[in-house]
Amino acid sequence: MSKYVIGIDLGTTNSAMAYTEISDEPAKVLPAAIPQLVNPGEVREEALLPSFLYVPGASEFPDGALALPWDESPRFVTGSLARKRGVENASRLVSSAKSWLSHSGVDRTEAILPPNAPDGAIRVSPLEASTEYLRHLEHVWNSQQPDAPFTDQDVFVTVPASFDAVARELTQKAAEAAGYRNVTLLEEPQAAFYAWIERHPDWRERVSLGDLILVADIGGGTTDFTLIAVKEEAGDLVLERVAVGEHILLGGDNIDLALARTVAARLAQKGTRIDSFQLQALWANCRAAKEKLLEPGSTETEHPVTILGKGSGLVGGTIKAALTRDDLQNVMEGFFPIVSSGAMPERQTRAAVQEIGLPYATDAAVTRHMAKFLRQPSAAGDGTRRSGSGMVCPTHILFNGGVLHAPFVRERILQALNTWLAEEDFAPVKTLSGEDLMQAVARGAAYYGSARHGKGVRIRGGIPRSYYIGVESSMPAVPGFPAPLKAFTVATFGMEEGTDLRIPGREFSLTVGEPAEFRIFSSSSRKDDPPGTMIEDFGEDLEELPPMEVHFPAEGEGHERVRVSFETVVTETGVLQLWCVAPDGRRWKLEFNVRERVAA
């Protein structure tokens, strides 16, 4: 039986872990210190695990210099030392694995990282890199809590709200490959809001009925927007997630590259031009310099960056430059311009042939993406707090993500948002403060796990439609007339995330062993069809989704017809899983997203 709930933020730039004990008392969430190599031969506890993997050369480190408490000779370097060594040798550094994990244009299980590694060098897949970070955290837990094995605990791993089904499934596979057993995925913006609730037990006194909270989550690799509405149920305030934005690959990585290009341009003006490999090193250096400049209490006006020149010697072949606070401010202004509420992300014409790389957003202006999110017709769910011009007008904002550590960034977002609200005759937005931007997601995931045990508040977010699967009638073939199609209810409007149900009493014939087409229907108007209801004449009440062609495996060669019943699961990340279950225990899964997403 589980003794603890563990929350893990598998971040693009940093990962974190927090936990709470399962008890009759209200949840008390604690951050976990993470031992890791900070220098060769030096292991130290840090608050975060930098999400970097370094592939060491054959004789790059002395024997024993990479030993960890749980592994005397690890294959890779993970965390602080990986990030530090990668600044010196970027071609051996794996970074942004989480962004690669969401890249549908590559095989995410293929060894493609680092993308700039020289021929013959060891590469790893985005899946393998993610597994290494998760495995490191499991080893940390077991070394600190030997009487409560990690595999016996409830574990919640967070993902961006904008992750598609494949990226979520790969994250799940990474956790399983790392040895995780009882693992559940949770969206990061929701986790950040849970962390705020955990820190503020009096949250019902801080928000009111009708309030609409915008969660702006800008991390190392992605930007996510989520809206949470404050509603009432049985005389008590409740929270409901009403909209989630689409995938925007835009975050700290983009800013770091912009800083690197700024420094490179200054070097070019002085006659020093760098190549693409040196730019990779400069990118890593600027990331480190940016973090130093943004450290709380830092008074530095600039931080040195150094990369190797093209000569064979180290002495005299070093290129030295500096990243200044003015550089930071100028670059940030480009990512967070003050634009009108009607400004939409700009599309750019790109070359037909490109190098294999991450599909970053073509428009780097975060404020334009935010404007588009708030202008989407479905953004406020039931239409609460929408202006006459059609813009959704939040009352509060919660910031999350490492990029928002910079006060300038928070101020720019507030300036843009409050300007839009004033134009619509709405009051300025209020900031929900008091949370650690770097630890919030892990803390919130642990709190959510406790809430599932009845010791906390849960954000509602039931599915916004009813869903049906098309069932072909078993009737003799008639020339010129297709077999009649019926609709079988598999999920009802309002079914909560994290719930599942078995639909008893009905069995159907399923084709396995060859390609077959599933026809899926939904309805926003039919809200009272209980699961298991068969609808014969549905007319225009149901909207057909794009058909799904699948190839379920059979036990032997050829195809077969199998009797099955249905089980429905709605995951915490808004995926509807429809399981076809045979009497002999075989199971086949069909899944699709049921979130009302907002295009970005």
Residues 111 and 66 in one domain: yes
Mean pLDDT confidence for 187-192: 90
Torsion of CA 381, 386, 391, 392, to 10 degrees: -50
In a domain, 451, yes or no: no
In a domain, 109, yes or no: yes
Residues 175 and 212 in one domain: no
CB 189 within 8 A of CB 161: yes
Distance CA 285, CA 301 (A): 16
pLDDT(12) > 70: yes
Point out the domain boundary residue: 157, 186, 215: 186
Point out the domain boundary residue: 386, 416, 433: 433
Q: Which two tokens stand for residue 229?
A: 């509405």
Residue partners of 204: CB distance under 8 A and separation at least 6? 237
In a domain, 267, yes or no: yes
User: Beta 212-218 vs 396-400: how paired, if at all?
Assistant: parallel
Distance CA 81, CA 469 (A): 52
The residues facing 94 across adjacent strands are 53
Residues 365 and 477 in one domain: no
**pTM, entire model:** 0.82
The angle that helices 80-88 and 276-293 make with each other, rounded to 10 degrees, is: 130
Q: Which two tokens stand for residue 209?
A: 């009925």
Q: Counting beta carbons within 10 angstroms of the beta carbon of residue 467, is it exposed (0 to 12), middle (13 to 18) or buried (19 or more)? A: buried
Residue of 309 and 115 predicted with greater confidence: 115
In a domain, 75, yes or no: yes
The dihedral through the CA atoms of 555, 558, 561, 566 has a sign that is positive
Banded pLDDT at 444 (limits 50, 70, 90): very high
Q: Counting beta carbons within 10 angstroms of the beta carbon of residue 548, is it exposed (0 to 12), middle (13 to 18) or buried (19 or more)? A: middle
Of 1, 277, 292, which is closest to residue 117 (Cα–Cα)? 277
103-149 confidence digits (pLDDT tens): 888 899 999 999 888 788 899 999 999 999 999 999 999 999 999 99
Distance CA 590, CA 594 (A): 13
332-366 confidence digits (pLDDT tens): 999 999 999 999 998 765 444 444 456 678 899 99
Residues 244 and 311 in one domain: yes
Distance CA 359, CA 155 (A): 30
Residues 182 and 207 in one domain: no
Distance CA 310, CA 314 (A): 9
Distance CA 547, CA 532 (A): 21
pLDDT(316) > 80: no
Residue partners of 545: CB distance under 8 A and separation at least 6? 520, 521, 522, 592
Give the gyration radius of the chain's Cα atoms. 26
CB 229 within 8 A of CB 596: no
Residues 574 and 486 in one domain: yes
Q: Which two tokens stand for residue 456?
A: 């906390």
Distance CA 33, CA 494 (A): 39
Distance CA 266, CA 46 (A): 35
Residue of 55 and 599 predicted with greater confidence: 55
Residue 72 CB neighbour total at 10 angstroms = 10
Distance CA 567, CA 250 (A): 37
397-439 confidence digits (pLDDT tens): 999 988 998 889 999 999 999 999 999 999 999 999 866 888 9
Cis, bond preceding 114 (omega within 30 deg of 0): yes
Residues 403 and 517 in one domain: no
pLDDT(477) > 70: no
Q: Which two tokens stand for residue 285?
A: 């250096």
Banded pLDDT at 598 (limits 50, 70, 90): very low
Distance CA 369, CA 223 (A): 9
In a domain, 459, yes or no: no
User: Beta 154-159 vs 4-9: how paired, if at all?
Assistant: parallel
CB 551 within 8 A of CB 515: yes
Residues 365 and 482 in one domain: no
Structural domain of 583: 466-598
Q: Counting beta carbons within 10 angstroms of the beta carbon of residue 522, is it exposed (0 to 12), middle (13 to 18) or buried (19 or more)? A: buried
Give me the CATH number covering residue 425. Answer: 3.30.420.40
In the block, residue with structure tokens 């699948």: 550
Residues 123 and 208 in one domain: no
Distance CA 99, CA 129 (A): 11
As for how many domains the chain has, the answer is 3
pLDDT for the residue numbered 343: 92
Point out the domain boundary residue: 186, 220, 238: 186
Residues 419 and 475 in one domain: no
DSSP 101: H
CB 481 within 8 A of CB 511: no
- Which residue type does 364 have? A
In a domain, 371, yes or no: yes
In the block, residue with structure tokens 């409740």: 238
Q: Which two tokens stand for residue 10?
A: 């598998």
Residues 180 and 248 in one domain: no
233-278 confidence digits (pLDDT tens): 887 888 888 888 877 889 998 999 999 999 999 999 999 998 887 8
